[in-house]
Every structure is written in C-alpha cells, then in structure tokens.
Amino acid sequence: MRIPGRPAALLASAAVLAALCGCTVQPTDTEGKHGLPARMRSPGTRGPAPADSPAPPARGSAPPARSPAPAGTPAPRVLWSRGDSGPAVRELQARLRQVAWLTAGPTGSYGRLTEQAVRGFQGRRGLPRTGATDAETWRRLLAMTRPPRTWELYPMGGQPAAAPDPRCRTGRVLCISKSSRTLRWMIDGRTLSTMAVRFGTQYTPTREGVFSIYWKSRHHVSTLYDSPMPYAMFFSGGQAVHYSYDFAARGYAGGSHGCVNVRDEAAIALLFAQVRVGDKVVVSW
C-alpha cells in the first residue's frame, strides 16, 4: 500500500535496515578492493598513513639499499696492517695471490703491495678501503680461498727447516733436507746457519745419502750445461751445492740438473768460506 508524501522516509529506513543486516554497496572508485578507503587499510591505525611510511617495492624491483650502520657502531677489529710481519701475514698474502689480487711474494712482511692488494679486495666487495686487514675483510677472504700449501707460502724460500737428520749430529756437516727444502750448516749438533735450497727435477734427481766435500770451485762453470755454478762445493760426481741465478730469479718454478741450488748469494758466500774439503754432506728426505 503506497502512502503518499513518505518516499524519502521509506528510503532512509531501508538503508538503515540494509546496514544492520550486513549488506553493503559496491565500492566506489575511491575505495580499495576490500571496500575500505585507502587511508583505513592498515590495521590498528586510524586516519591517513604517516607521511614517512615507505611504499611497498614494485614487483620485480631491486631490494632497497642496506641502511648504514648506526652511529657509534665499532669498526671491525684490525688484525694486520702495514708494518706487520710473520706467518699470519704470509698466509694472508698467499690467499690474496689465490684470488689474483697480489702477484709478488708471499714475503711475510705487510708492505705497500700488500696494502694495495687488500684495498682493492675491500673496494670490490663494498668494504671500507682502508688497506688494513680487519676481521670482516679476513672473513670474506677465507670464504673465497683454501688453506695455502707449504710451497705457496714459501715460493722464494725462507721456510722453516726440518729437524736435523740423526746423521748430522756429530762433526762438520752440510745437513740437507728435501722435505723442507733447506740446508743447515752444523758443527757438533749446533746449527750455525740455515738457507733455502732447490733440487734436481724428476729426470735429474739429487742423490740422497752420506757424502763428503771433495772439491771447491769459487767461479765454476758447468762443462755439461755451460752454465755458471758460483761457490760450487762438489759432493757426489758432478752434483754440488752452489749459488743459482735461476733460483734467485724464479724460485721453485724451476729445478736443477741434480745440484743443490742456493738462492741467497751472501749466505752461500759465507758458507763457502767456512766449509772445508772433507766435511760431511747428508742429503735426506
């Protein structure tokens, strides 16, 4: 039954009844997909979102840059820096060589070249380019490299000498170890000097055993290979302990024709002056 003059009141009553029953109208263009105005979508908030709230990143976009460390955060502890030396620095240099940031050495001394290599390694990985090896730089380098082998640590010599062979304990002896590539000059069990040495190759190996010096030749030149053998001290056929220019230049990248090469000219000059014909030579593994 239609009551004239009351259409507006009936429409208002219908709207109230629809709201109480849970019915809603479709969202307008200014409302979100959930039927709520955009400013009310964040749970637990009322009114417009704070002005500094970050917008969500677009799909497929790069992640936001990492925020800088808060002010007052302590810098990583420095482990080694220019002027330091020792076995740890030698290992650092060997690992830098593995990742092609250092070509020289290792020497065991943290000098200009090592500092430059560390600075380059740090810069490539977004670390502060200090040139000093801190704990974070060392952690990154360890993750990218493997433990260096003995001859990676000592490509030019300087390695620790092996314990003396028991046959070296008495008398005047050139005590030579193939395992550590070292020569000890010993008198009555006491080591007077130690130096790095190099041996023959697979096809011209240095003979092992007990020998004696039978000839010394200060300016010797090989008749077989026409190569200089300064400070030669012969102990077995044509095999001798002598200074090697090639060993001094190339380190363990090369080998001899059976002789025991020394790369430190000052050291072998002093040794040559002390060793006598008849002194014992022990070559052991």
What are the pLDDT digits (tens) for 238-283?
999 999 999 999 888 889 999 999 999 999 999 999 999 999 999 9
Reported as a pLDDT band with limits 50, 70 and 90, residue 71 is: low
Q: How far apart are CA 191 and CA 162, in angstroms?
A: 12
- Between CA 232 and CA 239, with CA 236 as vertex, the angle to 5 degrees is 45
Q: How far apart are CA 115 and CA 123, in angstroms?
A: 12
Q: What are phi and psi of 151, to 5 degrees?
A: -80, -10
Helix axes of 87-98 and 112-124: crossing angle, nearest 10 degrees: 50
Between residues 36 and 240, the one the model is more confident about: 240
Domain 78-153 carries which CATH code? 1.10.101.10
pLDDT computed for residue 136 by the predictor: 97
What count of other Cβ atoms lies within 10 Å of the Cβ of residue 171? 13
pLDDT computed for residue 70 by the predictor: 57
Taking the CA atoms of 131, 135, 137 and 142 in sequence, report the sign of the dihedral they define: positive
Do 124 and 101 contact (CB within 8 A), yes or no?
no
pLDDT > 70: percent of the chain: 74
pLDDT computed for residue 72 by the predictor: 61
pTM score, whole prediction: 0.63
Query: Could you tell me the two tokens for 17?
Result: 């009844």
Between residues 184 and 70, the one the model is more confident about: 184
pLDDT computed for residue 77 by the predictor: 93
Domain 166-284 carries which CATH code? 2.40.440.10
Residue labelled with tokens 């039927």:
35
Task: Find the mean pLDDT for residues 138-145.
Answer: 97
Beta bridge partners of 260: 241
Q: How far apart are CA 85 and CA 179, in angstroms?
A: 25
The residue ranges of every structural domain in the chain are 78-153, 166-284
Residue labelled with tokens 């039954």:
1
Q: How far apart are CA 174 and CA 188, in angstroms?
A: 11
pLDDT computed for residue 45 by the predictor: 36
Task: Find the mean pLDDT for residues 124-132.
Answer: 97
pLDDT > 90: percent of the chain: 65
pLDDT of residue 73 exceeding 90, the answer is no
